[in-house]
Structure 1
Amino acid sequence: MTAPEPTFPPTQAPQPTTGGRQGYLRIATEEAFATPEILKLWLGLLDDPTFDDPGFRSLWSFYGTATAERPRFVLQSLQDLGEGRLAAMDKAGIDRAILSLTSPGAQPLRKDIAKQQATLANDQLAQACKRHPDRFSGLTAVAPQDPEYSAREIERGKNELGFHGVIINSHTQGEYLDDPKFWPIFEAAQALDTPIYLHPNTAPKNFIQPMLEAGLDGAIWGFAVETGTHLLRLITKGVFDRFPRLKMVVGHLGEALPFWMYRLDYMHGATVRSGRYEAMKPIECRPSEYLKRNVWVTTSGMAWAPAIMFCRDVLGPDRVLYAMDYPYEYLVDEVRWQDDLPLTTAEKKQFYQTNAETVFGLPKGDA
């Protein structure tokens, strides 16, 4: 089965190829996989009448049981850590994929099962990276339900499995990482200088209903709202003051926060001065400064030149990285469009290759 490709205006760019002949390698930084074991558990949750997560049900009743071409392609491709995925990368000119356990990961599961599944996913991903060391790199999956386990798994992921970061699929059963009980995760990530990729999840049940009623709960809008809110909570609750060297990577061009930086700074300052909310205390920097200091954004699902160039302008060219969002979004023309960005070859190399090598600590490529 091949990915369905929508019809868009034609591009004059050539078919992308791997190997760096254009002057840079393409490293895709938000590429999803799932183990058969965790998929079975997720589908089992759909059959459990006591499992009360309408966002999860909306998302995985579609990808897990729908018969249309796109969800079938996604479900099949998530489980492929071999030749099918490599062929898709070759077709799109992707030299290396940074792979991570897809949303919601182990996070909706019971704590003991979640730890088992995160460990299993990490072991399976490590084997895939070992089989294809020049094409695959990995991020460590965790079970935030047990922060101490997660901290140990982050250390194992880096020191034993050779992974280059951590994947956390936003909230864990409605709880957000600004709660101090989760801070062992941040302590481990900062100490090991390993970035955390904060990936979207469907919003929790006390947040999702207006979006769900309009069909806006998923990638079209709800993911950005939920994950942007999560990142903003980390900023305004002072997490980056406590962990100033923490590296956070966020997809979809920062889940809209870069476009709000002026208003975030203005209204945050005004709200703190007003004393309106007990939860909003003074922090050391303006919100925009944390976005420029602690956050990197990727272009997953956002292959739109004006938005990419805006983020490069307001965050800095060293803060914007390429991502595809395979297999949820797989369109070869999106690679062509980003090849056509109004950048020099050296700037494209930074965008596609060296920013990822720097942030994730990848081996340096030859292009």
Structure 2
Amino acid sequence: MQEPQQLGKIAVEEAYQHPNDSKRILSDETELARVSDGGGVMPSYYRPIQSLLAEFDEIRLTRMDAAGIDHAILSLTAPGIQAIVDSADAEKKARSENDFLAEVVRRHPSRYSGFAAVPLQNAGAAAQELERAVVDLGFKGAMVNGYTSTQHPERGIYLDEAANDRFWEKLCELDVPLYLHPRSALSGGLRLYEGHPELKGATWGFGAETATHVLRIIFSGVFDRFPDAKLIVGHMGEALPALLWRTQNMFDLNPFDKRPQKTLEEYFADNIWITTSGSFSDSSLTNAILAIGSDRIMFSVDYPYSENQPAANWIEHAPISVSDRRKFCSGNARRLFRITVA
């Protein structure tokens, strides 16, 4: 039987780091160890990743071509702006990163788009920077790397807090999505992983932290206050599609003081998309299709933390319909982000 043609793809969770920051980290073994520990990885893993994060031309584009990835939406790698404590420093860094990314996109406008880095240390400033990035720079939305740090190591600012309503309002006004990306838990939560550094990053802790953040957003009524808000969650939904029924059931029995207007399944149907970033599993994909539907799933790689070719090979041979494969590879992303290039 004839093999189907390789489908063109749009990848929407693809990381970068400013070359100056990568050079600084790679030139100092102590700093490399610190940054690696913050991400729950080993320096031997992170050293080559750092070089790839800062590269945008020959290597990245060649690997995209080989995997049939026509277009990638780039975003500042975690923890990014969210790790900066001082508000003024965060605003300055966000603006600088967005200007840098805009230059990268201008070099390859048919191949790249951008997600804005936003300084949620001040929600008003974040809203202004989002508007600048979307209106003036042409970005497709915002990437937020988990909670935003504060002076207190055990206190972060989460997206459901009322102080961020101005930012959600601006997202709805501009009609662009927010991509919620993981970062390590606050210092108090890290006690769970003492003696087990292998668990605190993408192996386990990132997903648990991000899934909890999503549930905070839902149960705090963010989507009730902002029914047009659009949220993207990577890594096949951070296991939430598989846990929707149990979470909803136990919440119904124990709602405490929360009174959301809809069920979890309804919020996923109305406000939430997921991506395949770093999760190339037939069973996980099948579960996600059954739980949230094929219109809410988009292809992603999580490059350079994951490789383009295995991700592409998997989606091209996953046991799904041709219709769904087309949606996941590019159709759903084209509709959500209004992408017309490639």
* TM-score of the pair, normalised by structure 2: 0.90
Is contact 2:241–2:291 with CA below 8 Å preserved after alignment? Answer: yes
Structure 1 position 143 matched with structure 2 position 125: no
* Residue of structure 1 equivalent to 2:46: 71
Which amino acid is the alignment partner of residue 241 of structure 2? P
Report the number of matched residues: 332
* Residue of structure 2 equivalent to 1:115: 91
Summarize the Cα distance change of 1:55–1:361 in structure 2 as closer, same or farther, 3 Å threshold: farther
Distance in 2, matches of 1:44 and 1:222, equals: 28
Structure 1 position 348 matched with structure 2 position 325: yes
Structure 1 position 101 matched with structure 2 position 73: no
**How far is the alpha carbon of 1:72 from its aligned partner?**
2.0
**How far is the alpha carbon of 1:211 from its aligned partner?**
2.2
What SS does the corresponding residue of 1:95 show, helix, strand or coil? strand
**How far is the alpha carbon of 1:203 from its aligned partner?**
0.7
Is contact 2:280–2:315 with CA below 8 Å preserved after alignment? Answer: yes
**How far is the alpha carbon of 1:214 from its aligned partner?**
1.5
1:58 to 19, 30, 37: 37
What SS does the corresponding residue of 2:79 show, helix, strand or coil? coil
**How far is the alpha carbon of 1:23 from its aligned partner?**
6.4
* Residue of structure 2 equivalent to 1:154: 130
Percent identical residues: 36
Structure 1 position 305 matched with structure 2 position 287: no
**How far is the alpha carbon of 1:343 from its aligned partner?**
2.7
Structure 1 position 223 matched with structure 2 position 202: no
Q: Deviations over 1:197-254 (max 9, x none)?
A: 0000111112122124312000000000000000000011111100111000000011
Structure 1 position 185 matched with structure 2 position 167: yes
Distance in 1, matches of 2:74 and 2:6, equals: 24
Q: Deviations over 1:334-360 (max 9, x none)?
A: 321210012333321111001011112
What SS does the corresponding residue of 2:12 show, helix, strand or coil? strand
Q: Deviations over 1:269-312 (max 9, x none)?
A: 1112xx4xxxx321101122112211000000110011112111
Which amino acid is the alignment partner of residue 107 of structure 1? Q
* Residue of structure 2 equivalent to 1:323: 300
Distance in 2, matches of 1:214 and 1:349, equals: 40
Distance in 2, matches of 1:289 and 1:340, equals: 30
Structure 1 position 359 matched with structure 2 position 336: yes
Distance in 1, matches of 2:26 and 2:265, equals: 40
Summarize the Cα distance change of 1:197–1:312 in structure 2 as closer, same or farther, 3 Å threshold: same
* Residue of structure 2 equivalent to 1:84: 59
What SS does the corresponding residue of 1:205 show, helix, strand or coil? coil
What SS does the corresponding residue of 1:158 show, helix, strand or coil? helix
* 1:191-340 paired onto structure 2 within 5 Å: 191-215=173-197, 216-272=199-255, 275=256, 280-330=257-307, 332-340=309-317
Is contact 1:195–1:248 with CA below 8 Å preserved after alignment? Answer: yes
Is contact 1:46–1:57 with CA below 8 Å preserved after alignment? Answer: no
Distance in 2, matches of 1:38 and 1:192, equals: 31
Moved more, 132-141 or 330-339: 330-339
Which amino acid is the alignment partner of residue 103 of structure 1? A
Moved more, 86-95 or 129-138: 86-95
Distance in 1, matches of 2:8 and 2:34, equals: 37
Distance in 2, matches of 1:73 and 1:330, equals: 13
What SS does the corresponding residue of 2:300 show, helix, strand or coil? coil
Distance in 1, matches of 2:247 and 2:27, equals: 41
Distance in 2, matches of 1:39 and 1:243, equals: 37
Distance in 1, matches of 2:26 and 2:223, equals: 36
**How far is the alpha carbon of 1:113 from its aligned partner?**
1.4
Distance in 2, matches of 1:242 and 1:351, equals: 29
Distance in 2, matches of 1:43 and 1:114, equals: 23
Q: Deviations over 1:36-84 (max 9, x none)?
A: 3455788999989xxxxx9967235957xx3x2x322210011112222
* TM-score of the pair, normalised by structure 1: 0.84
Summarize the Cα distance change of 1:74–1:107 in structure 2 as closer, same or farther, 3 Å threshold: same
Is contact 1:42–1:60 with CA below 8 Å preserved after alignment? Answer: no
Which amino acid is the alignment partner of residue 299 of structure 2? Y
Q: CA RMSD in A?
A: 2.5
Is contact 2:102–2:114 with CA below 8 Å preserved after alignment? Answer: yes
Distance in 2, matches of 1:113 and 1:240, equals: 30
Distance in 2, matches of 1:183 and 1:38, equals: 31
What SS does the corresponding residue of 1:22 show, helix, strand or coil? coil
Structure 1 position 132 matched with structure 2 position 108: yes
Is contact 2:22–2:50 with CA below 8 Å preserved after alignment? Answer: no
Moved more, 206-215 or 291-300: 206-215
Q: Deviations over 1:97-141 (max 9, x none)?
A: 110011001111122111111111111111111111111111111
What SS does the corresponding residue of 2:158 show, helix, strand or coil? coil
Moved more, 221-230 or 353-362: 353-362
